[in-house]
Structure 1
Amino acid sequence: MSSFSRGLRAQLPRLMQTTPLFTGRCSASSQSVPLRLVFRIQTPSQLPSSARRLFQTSCQRLKAAAAAAPKTTPAARTTAPKPNNAAPLLNATRKVPATFAEQLAFRGQPTLLYEAPSHFWYTFSSFAAGTFCVVYTVYQYWTVYLYPPEGLHWLVPQAFGLICMFMAGMGAYFVLGTTRIVRTLRAVPASTLTSKAAKAGAATTPIMIEVATRRLIPFLPYKKALLHPEEVQLPFRMQGVLSNGQPGGAAGAGKRLSAKAEIEAKKAEREAKEKARQYQLDHIMTAPFRDAKRSFSLAWQGIRRSFYRDGFAKIKLGKKGQEFKLDVSGGWALDDGRAMDRLLAVRPNAMRS
């Protein structure tokens, strides 16, 4: 390379004086050996033979070095992912439940709105009293009215005939009192219905109301029907009614409490339960007597209700407005009865029994 440079410097003054110019380039690009040679000559043949061979040898070496050098691929360009606008679009197009009925339908499964308390003693006392009345009627009708004993005044069988009619009516009163009692109310999403009739009725509402009622024979399963929410008519608002058994129009019942009042009421309820539990633990020896008293109280309440039928409210079901009985003396209701008030129709003209 040094001899090539000396020869090139020796020929430079003479070459610069020539008029025609010829430009030649020999270049090689490499990461390790970058080199660019630029020279101006008149013709390639005018170079000395030694310089021309050195020039060709240098070009070949540079090309060989560039070919042998490891090729490095440029780093892959990393681009930020494009924002996905599909999710916001789906969220924007998805329908948000606006009403309480749509919220229940969005769950995709039935929601329990109301469940009646146990009616064991009420049913037992009603059937016991009805059985007694029927047996008494059959016995007296057979022994006194149809075949009266000898020497009995003729007015006595006639009077016993009226008594038998009265006792038969009382037997029917007790036995039929156990029917048409609403056991549960459920909100069923219309999308989960399978029958064609139910789907036809649910075309205008997101939910249907499933009503389970008691049959005449206690051991048979409950009778269920799917009704439109407008076909279930309440006599009054149920908020706060199940806890005190009073209709919404009574003083102090069914009033909507403020948030502070509700918190204080729940706190007082928790404190009362804690005190009752502590009393049970402190007086463990008398617990059987308290349980027996509670059992007798429930039995007496059931017997009393079989005569007076108190604690029931008349509700109307179906398009024909058939009357059924809703137990408001206890049981459980969703959100303390507010859910029923928001879904079902309230008809104050339905009288409470």
Structure 2
Amino acid sequence: MFNSGRLSIARKRRQLTKKTLAEKAGISQLTLTRIETGQTQEPEEETVSALARALSYPVDFFYLEDCEELPPEAVSFRSLSSLTARQRDSALSAGVIAHLLDDWVTQRFNLPQPDLVDLRDEHPEAAAIALRRHWGIGSKPIPHLIKLLEAKGVRVFSLSESNKNVDAFSCWRNGIPYVFLNTFKSAERSRFDAAHEVGHLVLHLHGGASGRMVEREADQFASAFLVPRDDFVATVPVVHSLEELIKNKSRWGVSVAALTRTAFDSGVLSDWHYRELCKQISSRGYRTKEPFPMKREGSVLWKKVFEELWKDRLTRDHVAAELGIPSDEITSLIGGLSSEGNHGSNPGAIAKTRLRVV
């Protein structure tokens, strides 16, 4: 039977209003509304085909079982003030498609099990130290954050949104943690976003908390998780100039702005000196273009999954066809994580992702 919920997901994913979709499909807005709300349970095949063409989705997608939609309160969006409802709904719909892909892969492979801990009662910086201790990485720099997260059972996906309003978001589903990253941003900012979302996963568990305080706590967690204070002070005990921070930022894989903030929070910079360095960062354009940018990290997990699938001559197109989704959706979800970064000099310090075919 026709699944009206899937029509709503596809429309939101393409960021189309009902009026726009109706015009593209050559039907009335009233007809579309009746179909999407379930009042018309079995629309004519010609109408469904027109909608599928307008959305660039396979017809089969609209006749499959219900999807678990992501309610806005189940995830953490950072820039709610600049995020439009259409952008939010599109990102949430991307999450729905990611869950379909993850379920398909989980049925065929034994993926790493989640290894996060509940740190809701901890201060953000203490929580970062606790998680590092739990994962056995101490105060060492993290050369490949996405690889680490995937090894600890976090499913990492990319967002192909060509704007900066959707920073990143995360959620829990059936005991599995998910992180979605906007790869439109710099590699350094994506790393910070990923750590920020891990903060949400362990500090807030998406229990309905939101607002500036919650986002500030996730920022504090990310900063301490990526740049442990004792390692920073041991490496950069004194900061005389912005160049010193630029020279050392590659050690931790963070932006010069983030490292400057860490220097201030660690007591290495005075309030006056911190403000002066922030002015220099802005005047040099480092808020939008990172000096000596690092290479973007790639996903180890998704690379291995599709290498194993290719052994059976299964491509992304085959997977998309089985899921009834456009191939471009899979590209959107993992394409931004396909480049293999090699930041850092000690990749063996991070636990390797294990992948076994079921």
Same-fold call, TM cutoff 0.5:
no
Class of the TM-score when normalised by the shorter of the 2 chains: under 0.3
Give 1 or 2: higher strand fraction. 1
Q: TM-score, normalised by structure 1?
A: 0.24
Q: TM-score, normalised by structure 2?
A: 0.24
Decide which structure has the larger Cα Rg and report it. Answer: 1
